[in-house]
Amino acid sequence: MTEARSACPLDCPDACTLAVTVEGDRVTAVDGDHRNALTEGLICGKVRAFPKHMYGAERLLHPAVRVGAKGEARFERVSWDVALELVATRMREAVARHGGESILPLNYGGSNGVLTDGTVDLRFFRRIGASRLARTVCAAPTGRAAEGVYGKMAGVALPDYAHAQLIVVWGCNPHASGIHLVPVIMRARERGAKLVVVDPRRTPLAKQADLHIAARPGTDLPVALAIAQWLFEHGAADRGFLGAHACELGAFERACAPWSLARAAEIAGVPAEQLAAFAELYAASSPAVIR
């Protein structure tokens, strides 16, 4: 039995390093590399289950060609040479008859890393003039929205959470989609940081929060506008910072003006006292971070 060092091949920004146990010519276990100061050996269940994926009974090990009608699920095993020649022939025919744009390379980033997506394959498909996939699913809309509001995809480095007096987790569940943030939040709480969760779901962090605001789905904007209006009203907004770094501050303040805590609370289906407690805690806590 030996242990090899590796890195996660998936398209995930956490870039986990791995400790892989090998017996003979088989991988028997995948664990996180505890020498990684950022991930601290914590990896997701998907990667931990890689051996089952690699050696699963239903894994396809050979190319197969459909021999029946679509939907019949009838396939015939062929050699790699036959499969590659068939693909090449069909692609040449498509380009000759309809042009390169008649070919669409359909893949996405969830199961591909930097080395398996967007390198040689991208150069090849561009050379033949293939269509490009409009990547409008997953993180793409989030990135576009963030760039439209902030000018870039803003973020907070994990080590900075240690300095926060207040952590606000708004509409996300790190236990499911940001596992390396969880221990960071837990350590910050041990040092005295308060935790507010805004989420209709009772997520694991919501169960531990100092304040859980279970706003109805789709009511985040009224809640945010009402909190901002309270900060303006009570002189808790940092106007010096906003004046130097925000665009259209006056327009934003006018948009907030109609939103009282009571009005937002009624729409969101939460007690107005909860929103008041949130606003007061945010005003009194510096630095604070919203995730």
Residue 92 to residue 138: CA distance in whole angstroms: 32
Mean pLDDT confidence for 66-81: 94
Q: What is the CATH number of domain 2-55?
A: 3.30.200.210
81: phi then psi, degrees, rounded to nearest 5: -60, -45
Residue 24 to residue 4: CA distance in whole angstroms: 12
Nearest to 99 by CA among 131, 132, 134, 133: 131
Q: Which residues contact 228 (CB under 8 A, 6 or more apart)?
A: 237, 252, 256, 259
pLDDT band, very low/low/confident/very high, at 112 (cuts 50, 70, 90): low
The number of beta carbons lying within 10 Å of the beta carbon of residue 160 is 13
The mean-pLDDT minimum among 36-40, 135-139, 210-214 falls in 135-139
The DSSP result for 109-143, as a single string, is: STT--TTTSSSHHHHHHHHTT-------STHHHHH
What's the pLDDT at 111?
A: 56
The mean-pLDDT minimum among 43-57, 152-166, 266-280 falls in 152-166
pLDDT band, very low/low/confident/very high, at 103 (cuts 50, 70, 90): very high
Q: List where CATH 3.30.200.210 sits in the chain.
A: 2-55
Q: What is the identity of the amino acid at 10?
A: L
Rg (CA), the chain: 26
* pLDDT at residue 113 greater than cutoff 60: no
Mean pLDDT confidence for 19-28: 94
What's the pLDDT at 114?
A: 58
Q: Which residues contact 216 (CB under 8 A, 6 or more apart)?
A: 200, 267, 268, 269
Nearest to 219 by CA among 188, 181, 263, 177: 263
Q: What percent of the chain has pLDDT over 70?
A: 96
Q: List where CATH 3.40.228.10 sits in the chain.
A: 155-290
Mean pLDDT confidence for 172-194: 94
Between β-strands 194-198 and 166-170, what pairing exists: parallel, antiparallel or unpaired?
parallel
Mutual angle of helices 272-284 and 261-268, in 10-degree steps: 120
The structure's pTM equals: 0.79
Do the beta carbons of residue 212 and residue 199 sit within 8 Å?
Answer: yes
E strand or H helix that includes residue 20: strand 17-23
Mean pLDDT confidence for 56-71: 93
Do the beta carbons of residue 181 and residue 174 sit within 8 Å?
Answer: yes
Q: For the domain made up of 155-290, give the CATH fold.
A: Dimethylsulfoxide Reductase; domain 2 (3.40.228)
Mean pLDDT confidence for 43-53: 93
